[in-house]
Amino acid sequence: MIVFVNNEFVPAEKSALSPFDRGFLFADGVYESIRTYNKKLFRYEDHIDRLKRSLREIRLDFKELASIKNIIIELIKKNELENELLVYLQITRGAAFPRTHSFPKEKISPTIFISVQELKESKEEQTDGVKVILQEDVRWLRCDIKSISLLPVVLASQKATEENAAEAILLRDGMITEGTHTNFFAVKDETLYTAPKSKLILEGITRKVVLELCEKFKIDFREEFINKDDLKSFDEFFITSTTKEITPVTSIDYWTINEGNPGKITMSLQTVFKKLVEDY
């Protein structure tokens, strides 16, 4: 596998990073995951806008964003991959010695790392739906930044894996924020509900596309937090992300929803989403 790191294309096993990289020492960096449809980078501008925002919020000055698209295209060519791809892109504040918590005084270059891999899509999850579990949201209070500091996500996600669930849905003060790496939606009386844009969630690009589809197809939606205690009053649930697209949720902890069948609105949104990406 060829990766792009420290401004060069290198085989992953030959790439080297300084142990003083602030990404390694402090998780001082941000990232994006972007996928292709029909070999084209899906909603690339939205991902780059979100990356710019993340960089700005952590005060990381990175000027070369305009050249990234060509680097990604070059990396895809070098890896000679078939099928649809997932691009991982990470920028850290760079390497500095001695280790100081505050920004280094001298000017350092940010570290950029990009990898591409073939996407493993689970058709079954999308047609049959998945189980999710509920977990306390112990992340920091700036979940709107796509930070590489993901330990709470790692632990909640591992708990989900151990319970044969596809995702952990996170609760802050009894309110549902989002999944560890997905946004969460519920449907009641043909109206869609999802947590509002705020510092408590990441504004997913797929979430944005789903809300655009709702506008187009005249499906009502409300950006409101859902209380855990009200979950049973909803008819359907689904999660969204770059890799999971629109995945129905058919059980939450020990509750099997609608006899384990994906919901109607969920499936019709999935159909129009699939059409949109097919034509991308």
Residues making contact with ligand PDD (CB under 6 A): 33, 178, 181-183, 202, 204-207, 240-243
CA angle 139, 141, 191 (to 5 degrees): 85
- Distance from C-alpha of 267 to C-alpha of 193, rounded to nearest angstrom: 16
- Distance from C-alpha of 44 to C-alpha of 71, rounded to nearest angstrom: 13
- Please, which residue, 96 or 139, has the CB nearer to ligand PDD? 139
> For this structure, is 146 an active site residue?
yes
How far apart are CB 34 and ligand PDD at their closest, in Å?
9
Catalytic residue among 39, 69, 146, 264: 146
How far apart are CB 139 and ligand PDD at their closest, in Å?
8
- Please, which residue, 204 or 263, has the CB nearer to ligand PDD? 204
- Please, which residue, 54 or 206, has the CB nearer to ligand PDD? 206
Residue 206 backbone dihedrals phi, psi, to 5 degrees: -65, -40
- Please, which residue, 115 or 183, has the CB nearer to ligand PDD? 183
How far apart are CB 104 and ligand PDD at their closest, in Å?
27
Distances, alpha carbon 47 to alpha carbons 176, 178, 247, in Å: 24, 19, 21
Cα–chain-centroid distance for residue 34?
A: 9
Residue 83 backbone dihedrals phi, psi, to 5 degrees: 60, -175
How far apart are CB 263 and ligand PDD at their closest, in Å?
20
Q: CB–CB of 268/276 below 8 Å?
A: no
How far apart are CB 199 and ligand PDD at their closest, in Å?
12
Give, rounded to a whole angstrom, the gap between the first and last alpha carbons of the chain. 27
- Please, which residue, 54 or 183, has the CB nearer to ligand PDD? 183
Distances, alpha carbon 139 to alpha carbons 50, 150, 182, in Å: 19, 8, 14
- Distance from C-alpha of 140 to C-alpha of 156, rounded to nearest angstrom: 14
Catalytic residues: 146
